[in-house]
Amino acid sequence: MTKKKLTLSVRKDLLDEVKKLAAIEGRSLSSIIEEYFEYMVFGRWAEALCRDLDLGSLEPKDEFDVPRSRPRGLDAARMVRELRRRRGEGISVE
């Protein structure tokens, strides 16, 4: 795959922090920026796909979207209690 050189202007303090993180992870700045670009492109593709399939949004926009997006009639707390009860029944103490 062909690569293209890119010149960026970034705040010095931000660049210094990212360089430290890149060094800790053993990565280059180029790989971090390229990964973010891929994330942006994939996000647009996924949004378009969701729109085409009439699925709405993949990610909640705020903390109130999570409960609104849950299927109706699903009682997660009850389900977790039931799973724990069943798991407890399957454990025998000798």
**What six digits make up the tokens of 60?**
């909640």
Question: Residue 39 corresponds to which amino acid?
Answer: Y
Q: pLDDT tens-digit profile of 37-52?
A: 998 888 888 888 877 8
Break the chain into its structural domains and give their ranges: 12-90
Long-range residue pairs from 40-49, CB within 8 A, at least 24 positions apart, any chain: none
How distant, in Å, are the alpha carbons of 11, 54, 68 from that of 48?
33, 10, 22
User: Can you tell me the distance from the alpha carbon of 40 to that of 33, in angstroms, rounded to the nearest whole number?
Assistant: 11
**Coil vs helix vs strand at 1:** coil
**Residue with the larger pLDDT of the pair 5 and 91:** 5
Q: pLDDT tens-digit profile of 12-69?
A: 999 999 999 999 999 999 999 999 999 888 888 888 887 788 777 666 666 666 666 6
